Each structure stands twice: as structure tokens, then as C-alpha cells.
Structure 1
Amino acid sequence: MRLQPIPAFDDNYIWTLEADDGGTIVVDPGDAQPLLAAAEQGFEPRAVLLTHHHNDHIGGVPALRARWPTLEIIAPDDARIPLATTRVEAGDRVERGPWRFEVLAAPGHTATHIAFFGHGHLFCGDTLFSLGCGRLFEGTPSQMLDSLDRLAALPADTLVCCGHEYSRSNAAFARAVDPDNAALERREQEIIAMRSAHRPTLPVSLHSELACNPFLRVDTPAVRDAVAAHAGAMQKDRVAVFAALRRWKDGFRA
């Protein structure tokens, strides 16, 4: 299968996963225009997967349904996604033609956020970013950390397909937290080179994220100590470390 990130807006990615017969699964189409334009070259969506209700991830759905009226829209059970034709939840399997996905709970950024894992790819919306994680708009630190733990337990060769191109700014924060991490330094240089060449920094392997992403490394002494130094006190447990790390990121300016 052929994976492609399609840029949208300032920093979103719409993901497509094309099968050998040319049919395509679309993930989080916030903007329909790139997909409608691709239809002129034979683009054929078979279904749409939605991770959460934010408009920059679902805003293109009405136009896609107008162009392809029978197009299946697979989404979490959330009334804020009104055009869904199929509702799914954690533990469900999505099997359509050659595609097979496991639905994972991923709350934290939003209350009903889900992720789709299949064919070695993780479509995680705004829960996990390269070197970062989503803001806690609706969930709690405990919920988000549990979601990240769940994603981190997937096979290390999983390709992480995030919803935004935030890698460069996330790298600056990650280096402030974990400046002696050699793997992180290499990843930052890779990101700088990719963005300088106008290339996506995604997908990225989960193996890389486990080595570099501070939000997946709250149990390591380097991250715990950095958070304690920034907060002025050791945190009582890993949830408190994560919460303090997320607050640090919220106010961080490179």
C-alpha cells in the first residue's frame, strides 16, 4: 500500500493509504480541495477515517460526500461529527476491502479521540506528534498519558502518521527538556534538513519517538529531573511529571 501525506491549511496533513487497485482510504480530510483536485487524476476514495471532531480534521467531509454520495465516513461516537455513517469505539476493527484497522482509544486532546492502527501505520490525529503530544482541550493528564502509553506499546517499527507538521517546534522544546539525548539531536538535525528541503518530517517510526519524544519518556531520569528543575520540585508520580511537562510545553517559547 502507498502512504501519502497531503498538506492542508498551514500545517495539517490529510493522510491517504492507497491499495494496489487504486482505491484509497482517507484520514482526517479537513480540506476537501486537494482530494477533489486529485479526482481529475483518478483518485477514488473508498472510505474516510476520522480521529476527532475538530474542524481542521473533518471540515472537508461535506464536500467529499457531495462528490461521492455513498462514501462511508467512519468516526468516533460524537455528535459533533454529524456526517458520520459508521460509529466506532476502542476495540472495534474496521475491515473494508484490503484495509484492516484496529480502533484504539486516544482521549486527552478531545474526550472522544480515537486512533486507527493497521498495515504498520498509526493514524493518531492530534494525540501523538513527532517529539510532542496534543494539548489537553477536553481530557485530563491521566487520560492523555494512558493514551500515549497505549500507542507506545505498539510495534516499534510502526509508522506514526500525525495530524500536523509540528516537528521542528517540538524539537526545540524536546531539546530544552533533554539536551544530552544523542538520538534526539540526530532527529532534530534530520527535521531541519527535511523542512529546509520542503519535505514532510512524517511519518516517523515509533522506535524514533520512543528514543526522542519527552512525552513518551516521562519515566526516564533525564525527563523527570528536567521537569523537577523547571517546576522547582520533584513530582509525586508519573502522571504529575507528565502534567508538569505539558504545562511547560504550553508556555514554551523557543
Structure 2
Amino acid sequence: MYTVITVPAFNDNYIWLIRHDNHCLVVDPGEAAPVLARLEALGLELDAILLTHHHKDHVGGVGDLLSQFPHARLYGPRHDPMPDHHGQWLEDGDQINWHGLSLDVLHVPGHTLGHIAYHGNGMLFCGDTLFSAGCGRLFEGTPAQMYASLQRLAALPDDTLLYCAHEYTLSNLRFAHAVEPDNLAIQRRIGVISKLRQQGLPSLPSRLGDERDFNVFMRCEQNSVRFSAEKYALKCLENPEDTFAVLRGWKDVF
């Protein structure tokens, strides 16, 4: 039995703990203090740290966590390693096995060139590649790379639970509504998530099958999405990849 525990950090980050009995893994610890506090409160032993990419708000707590748990293993992307730490650097097709849990490694470039995600047991830990109702900014990769990465994640089973690293859902939904104002799934989702956030509750995890109904970055093949992108760009768009590129640029200034 595996339990995923939400650890809020900074203003809008989420750090994820995967718990099995009194052991756990931590995903993308941008800061150590909230993780250490949760581990102490729950009496958990940290076995490993999983990183999706190198940005400070995802790796900033690694040093302090390793100093407290020196036997914890560090995992991260081979094309995006942390030079100051010894770790096992992963690439597409690798697998992590821990207390019977198998997590497959997916290389999903776009936000950064080396970005990876971890998928297994109905869970997807995808850092800043895919957000609920949105996707990450392109800091290093190209629109073509990010679109391909999102298509790859979209092909995972409908019941996959999405654990991304930021609470961006409501702002993403507002953009989605601007793109598809007649999409009832977006309208309903805004109502659901607004109530959760008013109660101080996280919007995550999200079900991947539901994302296909309201995440416009996963709906670039839909005529309604393409039409809005063409209207914004003032030009015809020939394929979903071009539509994605326009949407991502539009969201950057929305």
C-alpha cells in the first residue's frame, strides 16, 4: 500500500512524499524544512530523493535532506544531473524499484532539455512538464519537444493520477476558458477547483482522463482550440503542433 502525501512549499510548490509503512520517497524537494517537519511528525525514514529537473525550486532542499538522511539515494535526470551530489542519473526507459513499487522513467523535454517524469502504480510525477489544465513554460526546449512530451503523457491510462509540482490550476483554467469559452468541462472544473482553493485544499492530484477534456494543451487537435489559436495569431495553423506553439506563447502573456 502506497500513500502520497502533499507537502506545500514556497508560495505555490508541491513536494510529494510516497509512503510505504514507515519509509518514504520524496519527489522534487525544493526546500528541506517542510519535508523534515513532515518526516518527523509522521516518524518516516527517507529512503530516496527523486528529481525531475534542475530548477532551484525543485532541488534546493537536496543537500540538507542528504545531511539528515545520508543513506538516502538520489535519483535524477542523466541529461540534467546535480554536479555537487553523487546520485544515480536516469534516462528514458530506466526503472526505480522500491518496496514493490516500480516507477518507469520517461524523458519529457520541453520545460528543460533533461526533464524526466516518473510513472507507475497509477501515478505520474511530472514536475513542470504537465500541469493540471496547463503545461510548463519552455525555458530550454522547443514547442515541438514539449508537444511531443505532452502527447506521450497523454497516452498513459485514463485513471493515472497527475502529481505535478505547482498549484497553477485555477490560473490555467482561466486561460483554458479564454481559449474554449463554450467548453462545459472547463466551466465545471473552474467551479470544483474554486471551492477546493477557497477551503485551502490542493487541486491535485488530477485524473489524466479528465485532463483531456479541459486541458487545452492536450486538445490541440480540436477545431475549437485551433480556431482560437488562429484568431489570436491572425494566421492559419496547419497542424496541432503549430497550435500548441501559439497557445504556449499566448499563455506566457495571458
Short-chain TM bin? over 0.9
- Does residue 45 of structure 1 match 2:46? yes
- 1:25-104 alignment runs, 5 A limit: 25-41=25-41, 42-78=43-79, 80-82=81-83, 83-104=85-106
SS of the aligned residue for 1:137 comes to coil
For 1:192-242, what per-residue CA distance to the aligned partner results, in whole angstroms no more than 9, with x for missing partners? 001000000000000111110000000001100110111111112221111
Deviation at 1:142, TM superposition (A): 0.4
Counterpart contact for 2:151–2:218, Cα < 8 Å: yes
In 1, the alpha carbon distance for the partners of 2:70 and 2:19 equals 20
8 Å contact kept, 1:74–1:84: no
**Cα distance, 1:80 vs structure 2:** 4.9
Aligned to 1:190: 192
C-alpha displacement of 1:38: 2.4
| Per-residue Cα deviation, 1:43-100 (whole angstroms, up to 9, x for no partner) | 2111111000001000000000000111101000145523241111011111122221
Runs of 4+ aligned structure 1 residues displaced above 3 Å come to: none
Letter of the structure 1 residue corresponding to residue 138 of structure 2: L
Structure 1 gaps, min length 5: none
Amino acid in the other structure paired with 1:71? A
Residue 210 of structure 1 corresponds to 212
One-letter code aligned to 1:59: G
* 1:108 CA displacement: 0.1
Question: Which whole-Å CA distance do the structure 2 matches of 1:165 and 1:3 have between them?
Answer: 16
- Of residues 149, 152, 155 in structure 2, which corresponds to 1:153? 155
1:137-191 Cα offsets, whole Å, 9 max, x none, are: 0000000000000000000000000110000111110000011111111111111
Letter in 2 for 1:75: G
**3-state SS in 2 of match to 1:73:** strand
Helix, strand or coil for the counterpart of 2:74? strand
- Aligned-pair Cα RMSD in Å: 1.0
Q: Does 1:163 align with 2:165?
A: yes
Q: 1:230: which partner in 2?
A: 232
Which residue identity lines up with residue 212 of structure 2 in the other structure? L
Query: 1 CA distance for matches of 2:221 and 2:158?
Result: 18
Q: What is the Cα deviation at residue 40 of structure 1?
A: 2.5
CA contact (8 A) 2:79 2:113 kept: no
Residues 53 and 78 of structure 1 are in contact (CA less than 8 Å); yes or no, is this contact kept in structure 2? no
% same residue: 48
Distance in structure 2 (CA, Å) of the matches to 1:196 and 1:97: 37
For the residues of structure 1 that align with 2:167 and 2:116, how far apart are their CA atoms? 19
Match of 1:2 in 2: 3
1:87-121 CA deviation, whole Å, 9 max, x = no partner?
Answer: 11011111122221000111000000000001111
